[in-house]
Amino acid sequence: MISDKKDTSWLGLDDVIQQIHTRVQIYQRNMYELTLAQCEANNAVFRQEADQGCPANQMQRYSANKLMQKLYEQQREERVNLWRDLSRVRADLPEIVQQYLAAYRKLSILDDLRGDAP
């Protein structure tokens, strides 16, 4: 029964670690995509200038700046969301680790007692 508790606790601990890992991967992918979008926004202005043969007008630059501000805001939101999500998951971590360690120690003590018996 204690062995089952140890295995179950390990599964819970592994699940928390996987959740953290997956969320960080999602964060990295989202930030990469936002960076690509920023590059595309800048490139759109340069393409317009190349097509027109003159610098972008004030309205075109304003639109590009608004888009860049929106993308920067999305990056900030993604950083906050990562922190928020990881904080929730990490809040459960000490309890899960404690359960695992308690079961591990009990099994270790029982194994030591069995080893000492004739």
pLDDT along the chain (118 residues), means of 10: 68 84 96 96 87 86 92 97 92 80 80 66
If one counts every other C-beta atom within 10 angstroms of the C-beta of residue 23, the result is 16
Give, as one character, the DSSP assignment of residue 57.
-
Residues near 78 by beta carbon (within 8 Å), at least 6 away in sequence: 27, 30, 31, 34
Give pTM, 2 decimals: 0.70
Helix axes 58-116, 2-52, angle to 10 degrees: 160
Q: What pLDDT sits at residue 104?
A: 79
Look at residues 114, 29, 8 and name the one whose alpha carbon lies nearest to residue 78: 29
Sign of the CA dihedral running 109, 11, 80, 36:
positive
